[in-house]
Amino acid sequence: MSKNLTTRAEDYSKWYNELVVKADLAENSGVKGCMVIKPYGYAIWEKIQAELDRMFKETGHSNAYFPLFVPKSMFEAEEKNAEGFAKECAVVTHYRLQNDPDKPGKLRVDPNAKLEEELVVRPTSEAIIWSTYKKWIQSHRDLPLLINQWANVVRWEMRTRLFLRTAEFLWQEGHTAHATRTEAIEETEKMMNVYAEFAENFMAIPVVKGIKTANERFAGAEETYCIEALMQDGKALQAGTSHFLGQNFAKAFDVKFANAEGKLEHVWGTSWGVSTRLMGALIMTHSDDKGLVLPPNLAPTQVVIVPIHKTDEQLEAIDAVANDLVAQFRKLKISVKYDNRTTLKPGFKFNEYELKGVPVRIAIGPNDLENGTFEVARRDTLTKEVVAKDAVVKHIELLLEQIQDELFDKAFEYRNSHITEVSNFDEFKDVLENKGGFVSAHWDGTSETEEKIKDLTKATIRCIPLDRKEEAGRCVLTGKPSAGRVLFAKAY
Amino acid sequence: MSKNLTTRAEDYSKWYNELVVKADLAENSGVKGCMVIKPYGYAIWEKIQAELDRMFKETGHSNAYFPLFVPKSMFEAEEKNAEGFAKECAVVTHYRLQNDPDKPGKLRVDPNAKLEEELVVRPTSEAIIWSTYKKWIQSHRDLPLLINQWANVVRWEMRTRLFLRTAEFLWQEGHTAHATRTEAIEETEKMMNVYAEFAENFMAIPVVKGIKTANERFAGAEETYCIEALMQDGKALQAGTSHFLGQNFAKAFDVKFANAEGKLEHVWGTSWGVSTRLMGALIMTHSDDKGLVLPPNLAPTQVVIVPIHKTDEQLEAIDAVANDLVAQFRKLKISVKYDNRTTLKPGFKFNEYELKGVPVRIAIGPNDLENGTFEVARRDTLTKEVVAKDAVVKHIELLLEQIQDELFDKAFEYRNSHITEVSNFDEFKDVLENKGGFVSAHWDGTSETEEKIKDLTKATIRCIPLDRKEEAGRCVLTGKPSAGRVLFAKAY
């Protein structure tokens, strides 16, 4: 395995694929379109999970678990949802294999073990969950019902990419039921805000909050809110969605409640999710040609200590100092690793931790011990400084916060400098081709125009930003009137 | 919904089913054989997960995630494993649904979207994981490889029962690879011990550690270690297994490593797992006719405070005292709930928390405020005592530990008094029919005898206890020589 990655300038897509594998995040499996999430990648996902789970619980949600399979008749019940996912779903038709009479040692599906009704492997769980909510909801006292599920889902994608688009992926899906339209919309917006806060404060990924157009809306929703991030190659990435389902699923599954006056009404629903796709966003927001760059919040190892020595005696002296440092960091709940493997050279270790994005590296050599100083290196800026021994723990505690903040600031500046307002279609195409990023343009509000622009440029409307200003204008393609700008981009 | 459960004496099986549903732990779903784990049940599962995950990491294991699907050819590779699971696996054959031309609004599998190779929904992940380990392991420096996965698996069971036997269930599965046979056996035993420690210290479930007979061994293993628990109806329940896989999977998937001398050898494997079945063991070990009894370690709410009041003023006074208590408990990381819902009577609340197994209940009425005392009730013993206000927090902190210990002691005594040594087959049948529990008997070591006894009595050999004493004897059925007793029981 070559140590060096393809650079972003050479081939961005290749850089990404190599980084994911070489930094031990994930790899393709022997199952078409499905990935293996490797221990280092999974450790980052666990940090994402833990923080989101905390935030969901803090906002009143409980976890539960619903079946992997959706019987076909249940899957069909909400028509738009079914139509949206039918084209890409894995279907279980049999429940047994048997010895293949024609091929010794091989198995085949047992023709006598065909299911009466096919089972769809959940591409999303609205159907199975709303069929359950029918049993759980009778009265307004049962509402709101605020449930989240951590699960795997399957969408049969033909062109897959590690983390970004895989046939099976891991996610969480919130499914809530409410007595009123207003309350359901409030929940939808609240969870979009939870996602935005999480992306920005925890993952250091700036996002635009907005609403999807009808074309890009979740199948079965009345409105889809989203957070959109911008990758370093100028392409957008949808990092999370929150759907206002109206009464669509309540009607499809006959979920009614008796209101305070005893009158039966259909309940109002929401659903919202983020997935292992966030790992792709994380990688493509911060990383560089040396490998992964991790915000300290997400780093399984925040600080690594590497000894530089020639003799065993030197190593012993360094060991003592390093072990003391480790203990001090642990007290502060800073995750630290002292890598004193003697089979590997320091330079090899430096490369490895750069590739894996460990935010801070401390190198300790015999001279450092004499001088009472350490060399402290930052992964994000690739800069080094010399820090006095007694000050180093406090210094790094603050440095980790600083790195977290500066990674956000850097991504924020990049993102902001890549939102470009255009006033005609030539400009639109020019920005899209030569600069990338979000193109802020007037649009006449029709799906036809949206699709025409997509056909011509591959750009889609990422969202109608929630904070857009009202501004009369003319559609960039058709010249028809528009009430405000929307954000277009090529997207993952 | 009737408040009262069927009693255990009336119908143990019905008692169990009712309890699971009424205590909000789980229920059957619209998918045959698959359950919905309800929020309260899932909260207990989360506690199980968190503690086990901590123990796995402390013993050097990392989490990762492998695909849900196993291509048929990969599934076939380890023959015994394939044979063991082929009879009960869900098989994906198609990747798309389409509108059914004969039935408007209905879907059918798209005959043009048949997979080239069928995919088995994982019943266990050895095949997919060992096919990956082939890529990960080259040298002795890559060993040991210590990985765990939290996942859902599917085994197509015809007769299902909530938690105990469901078509889909949640579990963790550890999969490790080692350079030597000895090291792999050590790992197998270590993880059995981790499970035993967890079951006893955390779940308050006493277990027997032992080895399975060839008949009961995991398909593809050389040796299966297990922990066996005893339920209140005298039936045994396998609570966890740890398998020494020998080189079976390494050979099936061609996983070799270069040893220190550069010679290629097949690696040695283990796998080990516990599942949502543990929820069934938990329920059936501790609970009573009033409902669930939870060891404090597993209780999502450890203490509930219920106000007893007639007037709003009384409630206000109680609120102040209760909120202060809540704050004190939270400081001690004791999970507490103050239930001051005014729509429900105290008696209703008492029943609800008894049903749900909240370990300690504090009731506070106006008299208590005057006297400076509270009524403290224990769920496990259904006893009450009056405790001085200032002493109550400390009292309950100790009481929770005491309850945890006493639940174990009670189950331990029950279990020990239900291990009965027998010396002939009449006694064997008599104990099994009239007393239940483990029957400790000599066995001639053959699968034939084991199966004959199963046919005659429905009892299986639960395990060959690790701590059994060497004792020459005669097989209880055949009279042939035996080197020691094994434990028989009817089992879940």
pLDDT given at position A4 = 87
CA-closest candidate to residue A77, choices A254, A341, A230: A254
pLDDT classification of B3: cutoffs 50, 70, 90: low
CATH number of B296-406: 3.40.50.800, 3.30.1330.30, 1.10.3720.10, 3.30.420.40? 3.40.50.800
Choose, out of B24, B68, B149, B335, the residue to mutate when testing the contact with A (most A CBs < 10 Å). B68
- Whether A1 shows a pLDDT value over 70: the answer reads no
What gap in Å lies between CA B394 and CA B374, rounded to an integer?
Answer: 13
Return the DSSP state at B102. Answer: T
What are the domain boundaries of chain A? 12-286, 296-411, 419-489
CA-closest candidate to residue B49, choices A463, A94, A50: A50
Choose, out of A65, A155, A159, A348, the residue to mutate when testing the contact with B (most B CBs < 10 Å). A65
Alpha carbon distances (Å) from B359 to A458, B292, B353, B413: 60, 10, 9, 21
Cα dihedral angle (B339, B344, B348, B350), rounded to 10 degrees? Answer: 20
Query: Is A84 an interface residue toward B (CB < 8 Å)?
Result: no
pLDDT, mean of residues B59-66: 98
What gap in Å lies between CA A202 and CA A294, rounded to an integer?
Answer: 11
pLDDT classification of B158: cutoffs 50, 70, 90: confident
Q: In A179-231, at which residue ranges do the beta strands (DSSP E only) sit?
A: 208-211, 223-230
What gap in Å lies between CA A71 and CA A114, rounded to an integer?
Answer: 14
Dump pLDDT digits (tens) for B235-279.
Answer: 999 999 999 999 999 999 999 999 999 999 999 999 999 999 999
Query: Is A90 an interface residue toward B (CB < 8 Å)?
Result: yes
Q: How far is B205 from chain A (nearest CA, A)?
A: 24
pLDDT classification of B2: cutoffs 50, 70, 90: low
Helices A312-331 and A392-416: crossing angle in degrees, nearest 10, is 70
- Whether A2 shows a pLDDT value over 60: the answer reads no
Dump pLDDT digits (tens) for B320-337.
Answer: 999 999 999 999 999 999
- Whether B176 shows a pLDDT value over 50: the answer reads yes
Amino acid code (one letter) for B479: G
Return the DSSP state at A289. Answer: T
CA-closest candidate to residue A8, choices A233, A231, A165, A279: A233
For residue B389 the two structure tokens come to 């206000």
Q: Is ipTM > 0.95 here?
A: yes
What gap in Å lies between CA A262 and CA A140, rounded to an integer?
Answer: 9
| Binary contact (A97, B106; C-beta < 8 A) | no
Dump pLDDT digits (tens) for A190-213.
Answer: 999 999 999 999 999 999 999 999
Query: Is B21 an interface residue toward A (CB < 8 Å)?
Result: no
Choose, out of B63, B76, B97, the residue to mutate when testing the contact with A (most A CBs < 10 Å). B97
Query: Is B213 an interface residue toward A (CB < 8 Å)?
Result: no
**How many Cβ atoms sit within 10 Å of the Cβ of residue B324?**
12
- Whether A245 shows a pLDDT value over 60: the answer reads yes
Q: Is the distance from CB of B460 to CB of B488 less than 8 angstroms? A: yes
Q: Is the distance from CB of B194 to CB of B55 less than 8 angstroms? A: yes
CATH number of A419-489: 3.30.450.20, 1.20.1050.10, 3.30.300.130, 3.30.110.30? 3.30.110.30
| Binary contact (A121, B29; C-beta < 8 A) | no
pLDDT given at position B322 = 97
For residue A384 the two structure tokens come to 């080094």
Domain spanning B12-286: CATH superfamily: Bira Bifunctional Protein; Domain 2 (3.30.930.10)
Which residues make Cβ contacts (< 8 Å) with residue B202, sequence separation at least 6? B48, B51, B295, B297, B298
- How high is the mean pLDDT of chain A? 97
pLDDT classification of A291: cutoffs 50, 70, 90: very high
Name which of A29, A79, A118 is nearest B66 (Cβ-Cβ): A29
Amino acid code (one letter) for B491: A
For residue B347 the two structure tokens come to 């008696």
pLDDT given at position B1 = 44
Dump pLDDT digits (tens) for A371-422.
Answer: 999 999 999 999 999 999 999 999 999 999 999 999 999 999 999 999 999 9
What gap in Å lies between CA A465 and CA A472, rounded to an integer?
Answer: 15
Phi, psi for B115 (deg, rounded to 5) = -70, 145
Query: Is B70 an interface residue toward A (CB < 8 Å)?
Result: yes
Helices A12-22 and A277-286: crossing angle in degrees, nearest 10, is 110
Dump pLDDT digits (tens) for A449-484.
Answer: 999 999 999 999 999 999 998 899 999 999 999 989
pLDDT, mean of residues A252-269: 97
Return the DSSP state at A222. Answer: S
Alpha carbon distances (Å) from A41 to A3, B63, B487: 19, 10, 44
Looking at chain A, the whole-number percentage of residues with pLDDT higher than 90 is: 98
Q: How many helices and strands in chain B, by DSSP H and E?
A: 14, 27
Dump pLDDT digits (tens) for B196-212.
Answer: 999 999 999 999 999 99
Chain A residue whose CA is closest to B100? A76
| Binary contact (A64, B34; C-beta < 8 A) | no
Q: How far apart are the first and last CA of chain B?
A: 28
Instruction: With beta carbons under 8 A apart, name residues in chain A contacting B64.
Output: 36-39, 42
Looking at chain B, the whole-number percentage of residues with pLDDT higher than 90 is: 97
pLDDT given at position A158 = 85
Dump pLDDT digits (tens) for B422-444.
Answer: 999 999 999 999 999 999 999 99
Q: May I ask the CATH architecture of the domain A296-411?
A: 3-Layer(aba) Sandwich (3.40)
